[in-house]
Amino acid sequence: MGIIICEADLVTDQEILIKTLNENRDKSTDACRYRWRYLDNPQGRARAWLAIDEGSAAVAGFTVAHPRIVYINGEAFCGWNCGDFSINKKYRTLGVAVKLRTAATACVNQGEIPFLYAHPNERMSLIHLKAGHSVLGEMVRYARPLSLDRYLPRYLQDSAVSSSLGWAYHKGVSAWTRSARFRQSFQCELHDGFSEDAPYDALMNRVRKGVPVVGLRDKAYLKWRFGDSPGSQIFTLLLFGDGDLLGYAFCSWQDRTIHVHDFFSLLDDAVLNGLVAHLTEVAYSLKAQAVSVTILESHPVIHALERNGFLLRQERSKMMVHTSPDAKWRAPLMDKHNWLITVGDRDV
């Protein structure tokens, strides 16, 4: 059975791509989400490759690369953020995934695209390695428990004892968080949905001058990524100091847990600590039971998370990067300590 790889037309092939996505994904995609995901990205349209069964002309699967503008030592490059591997069950043992990923890799090797990165799951990591990609580092999850009420009854039969311990824990960490908040003179704003008026571009310009590798987070991109995402329900936390935007977090609420999708700020320790402390206090005000943050293992905010009571959890996944061996940007690109990566930088 022969498999050929060809580039998809995102307009004429829309129906078959949506069908293949929905047959292999838990989250359903409709025409609206498809357009947002593949066609409306302000940094460029996605590129997709189809795997076709030569014998039956059936679609075996496809994969996508999303354009992502990244600053490397202050210079802007448009690379690819790879994702959306969708392989039909019949073809999952026939090397289709390797052939699809190799098609994108070839564009980098031939100089068409400066680099690509991806965040595969454990099973797909081997595919990326076979395609020639390198492991940059691991994405890790930190969580801050805010209440023990949901956990203690599992271990304690006496509900009164359980409630008392949960109350004592809650009051103790709440007081500690409030004291952390007022150690610095920051102002916090909380907005339901995407905050349109925040000066994101000014903050991006400040941050990129001191970070070797960072994805462009201007207003146009952030509005598309977090504000326009179909079905997305987020809130925005903004941190100001002397009238300037110093940092922000885009978050969602699910099962009484706040999930942080993007965390971006100046890398000053006081700012990082202030943003995390404010985020934790917001979580308390919403009566959340936990806050969850997924970031690259070398992200500088980790120190602030740990200072504010966040704990490293077991969940881990790899971040892969590929670029030309002789590219001038290879050295900074292949050092995980140079990157600012959150879950918001992953495929959409």
- CATH at 23: 3.40.630.30
CA atoms of 263 and 198, how far apart (whole Å)? 15
Q: What is the pLDDT of residue 187?
A: 95
Distance of CA 171 to the CA centre of its chain: 32
Q: What is the 3-state secondary structure (H, E, C) of 56-86?
A: CCCEEEEEEEEEEEEEECCEEEEEEEEEEEE
Q: What confidence score (pLDDT) does residue 173 get?
A: 53
* pLDDT recorded at residue 27: 83
Q: Are residues 70 and 168 in the same domain?
A: no
Q: Which of 110, 132, 154 is the last residue of a domain?
A: 132
Q: Are residues 152 and 69 in the same domain?
A: no
Mind spelling out the 3-state secondary structure of 232-274?
A: CCEEEEEEEECCEEEEEEEEEEECCEEEEEEEEECCCHHHHHH
Claim to verify: residue 151 and residue 262 sit in the same structural domain: yes
The answer to the question of residue 203 being in a domain is yes
- Measure the CA–CA gap between 240 and 247, rounded to whole angstroms: 7
Q: What residue ranges of the chain have pLDDT lower than 70?
A: 1, 148-184
Which domain does 30 fall in, by range?
Answer: 3-132
pTM given for the model: 0.89
Q: What's the pLDDT score for residue 231?
A: 86
Residue 25's pLDDT is: 86
Residue 124 and residue 149 share a domain: no
In a domain, 255, yes or no: yes
Domain presence at residue 324: no
Per the CB < 8 A criterion, the answer to whether 10 and 48 are in contact is: yes
Structural domains of the chain, count: 2
Domain presence at residue 322: no
Query: Exposed, middle or buried by CB within 10 Å (0-12, 13-18, 19+), for 238?
Result: buried
Whether 99 maps to a domain, the answer reads: yes
**In a shared domain, residues 186 and 282:** yes
In a domain, 286, yes or no: yes
| Same structural domain, 163 and 302 | yes
Give the 3-state secondary structure of residue 310: coil
Residue that is written with structure tokens 């002397």 in the block: 242
Query: In the listed set 132, 165, 185, which residue is the last one of a domain according to the structure?
Result: 132
84 and 146 housed in the same domain: no
Report how far apart, in Å, the C-alpha atoms of 31 and of each of 18, 26, 227, 258, 330 are. 8, 16, 18, 29, 38
Dihedral over alpha carbons 299, 279, 241, 295 (to 10 degrees): 10
Same domain for 145 and 276? yes
CB atoms within 10 A of CB 77: 17
Residues 313 and 172 in one domain: yes
CB atoms within 10 A of CB 13: 17
**DSSP secondary structure letter of residue 182:** T
Q: Are residues 111 and 174 in the same domain?
A: no
Q: Is there a domain that residue 346 lies in?
A: no
Q: Are residues 54 and 149 in the same domain?
A: no
Type of residue at 91: Y
Evaluate whether residue 165 is within a structural domain.
yes
Last residue of some domain: 132, 167, 197?
A: 132
- Residue 162 and residue 267 share a domain: yes
